[in-house]
């Protein structure tokens, strides 16, 4: 009898998530039986869902805001990547141990590769979980970080152990690929002008119904861009591969995610380092 995969995304709010349509399409495309559902959970609910994985009632789960730190705490084992990022967005079982992984880090690296974003110089904006994933993904390159709270940015560098220099908020970095890990742009607000005008490329980790002002301005100059849908699809593909051992068809997850009818915007990226 072939295995049936019971998968879920856990969070609050979670009704906006495009993960169910991506993963259901992936299961159908590769001929695997299973389901993928969105489950609204609080802190207590996270413990309940962890128990379901340990009892094989769930075979894998994604975790979204605000529970990525809780997911790390509840896991028996963290991958090296998840430990550095300080957050978990994917659960799976190895033997009798619940493993926590951050496929967001893998996703950031994939986006840089797929969208041919320059890596000679990288400017990460933000000081929260999204910025942590970007820093860990880009470790080893020449990185600068900038946030509205320099104290929180410095604390993030210490926590992740990534070698990067701290620059003042609003200062541009000539020739850098800017990774926007803040909520700025989701509702039509703009990043500081020098940050945009001096960028060689723009990677906005958020997404909505229309491109952010930073993406639109960068694209108008003929420079490479990437958005949160690129990241969403790339990290989802890695989760799917971990759970099933099968790689979904190239481009499927991105196509599905971009064609969900009238989705609400993503919830705000948490910039504070809590």
Catalytic residue list? 68
Pairing of strands 60-63, 90-94: antiparallel
User: Helix/strand/coil (H, E, C) string of the chain?
Assistant: CCCEEEEEEEECCCCCCCHHHHHHHHHHHCCCEEEEEEEECCHHHHHHHHHHHHCCCCCEEEECCCCHHHHHHHCCEECHHHHHHCCCCEEEEECCEEEEECHHHHHHHHHHHHCCCCCCCEEEECCCHHHHHHHHHHECECEEEECCCHHHHHHHHHHHCCCCEECCCCCCCCCEEEEECCCCCCCCCCCCHHHHHCEEEEEECCCCCCCCHHHHHHHHCCCCEECHHHHHHHHHHHHHHHHHCCCCCCCHHHHHHHCCCCCCCCCCCCCCCC
């Amino acid at each position: 009898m072939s295995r049936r995969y019971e998968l879920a995304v856990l969070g609050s709010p979670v009704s906006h998530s495009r993960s169910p349509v991506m993963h259901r399409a992936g299961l159908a495309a590769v001929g695997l039986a299973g389901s993928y559902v969105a489950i609204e959970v609080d802190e207590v609910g996270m413990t309940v869902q962890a128990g379901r994985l340990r009892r094989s009632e769930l075979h894998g789960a994604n975790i979204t805001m605000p529970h990525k730190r809780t997911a790390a705490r509840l896991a028996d084992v963290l991958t090296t990547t998840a430990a550095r990022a300080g957050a978990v967005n994917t659960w799976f079982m190895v033997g009798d141990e619940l493993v926590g992984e951050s496929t967001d880090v893998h996703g950031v690296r994939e986006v840089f590769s797929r969208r041919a974003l320059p890596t000679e110089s990288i400017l990460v904006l933000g000081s929260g979980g999204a910025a942590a994933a970007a820093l860990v993904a880009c470790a080893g390159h020449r990185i600068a970080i900038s946030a509205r709270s320099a104290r929180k940015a410095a604390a993030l560098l210490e926590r992740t152990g990534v070698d990067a220099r701290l620059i003042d908020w609003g200062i541009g970095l000539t020739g850098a690929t800017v990774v926007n890990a803040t909520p700025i742009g989701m509702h039509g607000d703009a990043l500081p002008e020098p940050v945009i005008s001096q960028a060689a490329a723009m990677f906005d980790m958020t997404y909505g119904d229309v491109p952010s002002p930073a993406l639109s301005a960068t694209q108008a100059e003929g420079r490479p861009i990437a958005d949160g849908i690129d990241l969403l699809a790339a990290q989802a593909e890695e989760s799917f591969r971990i759970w099933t051992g099968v790689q979904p068809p190239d481009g499927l997850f991105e196509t599905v995610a971009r064609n969900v009818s009238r989705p609400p915007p993503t919830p705000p990226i948490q910039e504070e380092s809590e």
